[in-house]
Amino acid sequence: MFKKIVLLPGDGIGPEIMDAAEQIVNCIALEYGHQITCETQAIGGSAIDETGRPLPDETVKACEEADAILLGAVGGSKWESLPPSDRPEQGLLGLRKALGLFANVRPVKGFPPLLHASPLKEEVIKGSDILIVRELTSGLYFGEPRERREEGNAAIDTLYYNREEIERIVDYAFKSAQSRKKHLTSVDKANVLETSRLWREIVDEKSAEYPDVTVEHVLVDAAAMQLITQPNRFDVVVTENLFGDILSDEASVLTGSIGMLPSASLTQSGVGLYEPVHGSAPDIAGTGVANPLGMILSVALMFRHSFGLEEEARAIEQAVHNCLEEGYYTSDLHIQGGKCVQTDEMTRHVIEKLTSKSVSECILNTYA
Ligand code: IPM
Ligand code: MN
């Protein structure tokens, strides 16, 4: 199989974890006989430093031509004083819109050796396996008008959704539920918001097309509560952009290891952008201690969702599991009786579990 990937390391620990991702991509390519080329482009704060803009045209063009995109992280205090429209985050938002990455998929599933670090009691979090499907290219993030009014003393953002935008994310969520436990929770605020009432109507209409999936509607405030009290009751959760942003951060800490969680942002055609859920962690950037596993598991999602290579995806996930089972962890985590390792050592252990080839072959291939 021949594929072209664009790497967007971004800011903070982004370049360090992207280095790990590239080694894993090359390791899988060698092991399974795929030809995968990687091209690095700028985004976020580092793109501002290089070109004056968080999303250079060249980056958009390369991403448009790619089969998949891997992103490290964007943002940092260095760029905080810039006006909102020039900040690193605009690079990511602009790319989501430019590519039509409407479906953000965040699997929230804990790793048994790490569950002791969950803020929840182990018996409450145990067995939880949630897939959050967040609408990513509309809603409050993009609605117009969005501006200051009354000489700067008032401000307006717009929560807009149309039928097509809701239908495609709801379809995606139903299909995901069909391949899992066949339960869909649609989260809204239909007791207050008109967009939520439209959302709810469409979910009910669509449910006729997916008779094997049970559907429930939960108000967002109640959903926030139930994620803490009964995380086990959820399978697939579908919701609009801002609710999804908030709920997915809430859900991600429940596993006790936010550094482990991957995410996928998908277009209708299957091209996707894959990134860890965690941010750029500027406080530890350059120290070599960042946890590469969220990024490495994002590579697994890329093989699964964009390339349809399930075996390769599972191999990566299994390798990560095995590393944890053997007690290897990075400084953001802790495993009793285990060994704390740095970014490059953790990556090496994952590679050793993926291939009989030497680690240096994978690294050599990376820099060839
Ligand atoms: C996320 C992030 C972004 C968002 C920021 C960086 C713009 O929090 O991917 O969840 O709010 O969507
Ligand atoms: Mn967020």
pLDDT tens-digit map of 18-69: 999 999 999 999 999 999 999 999 999 999 999 999 999 999 999 999 999 9
Q: Is 159 in the pocket of ligand 1 (CB under 6 A)?
A: no
Prediction pTM value: 0.94
Centre of ligand 1 to C-alpha 245, Å, is: 7
Q: Is 93 in the pocket of ligand 1 (CB under 6 A)?
A: yes
As a whole number of angstroms, the distance between CA 256 and CA 110 comes to 7
Centre of ligand 2 to C-alpha 262, Å, is: 13
Q: Does residue 337 lie within any of the structural domains?
A: yes
Q: Does residue 113 lie within any of the structural domains?
A: no
Asked if residue 86 and residue 13 are part of one domain, the reply reads yes
Domain that holds residue 67: 1-108+258-368
Asked if residue 264 and residue 250 are part of one domain, the reply reads no
Is the CB of residue 36 less than 8 Å from the CB of residue 5?
yes
Is the CB of residue 232 less than 8 Å from the CB of residue 181?
no
Q: Which of 254, 285, 320 is the last residue of a domain?
A: 254
Per the structure, the count of domains in the chain is 2
Host H or E run for residue 197: helix 194-207
Q: Does residue 114 lie within any of the structural domains?
A: no
Asked if residue 243 and residue 264 are part of one domain, the reply reads no
Asked if residue 249 and residue 125 are part of one domain, the reply reads yes
Asked if residue 62 and residue 132 are part of one domain, the reply reads no
Asked if residue 249 and residue 144 are part of one domain, the reply reads yes
Asked if residue 266 and residue 227 are part of one domain, the reply reads no
141 is catalytic: yes
pLDDT along the chain (368 residues), means of 10: 97 98 97 97 98 97 98 96 93 96 96 92 94 98 97 98 98 98 98 98 98 98 98 98 96 90 93 95 96 98 96 97 96 94 98 83 65
Q: What is the 3-state secondary structure (H, E, C) of 19-48?
A: HHHHHHHHHHHHHHCCEEEEEECCCHHHHH
State the CATH number of the domain containing residue 164. Answer: 3.40.718.10
Asked if residue 279 and residue 215 are part of one domain, the reply reads no
Centre of ligand 2 to C-alpha 247, Å, is: 9
Q: Which of 232, 254, 276 is the last residue of a domain?
A: 254
- Distance from the first to the final alpha carbon of the chain: 19
> Which residues pair with residue 148 across a beta bridge?
155
For the stretch 110-124, pLDDT in tens is 899 999 999 999 999
Residue 355, token pair as written in the block: 């291939």
Residue 73, token pair as written in the block: 């992280």
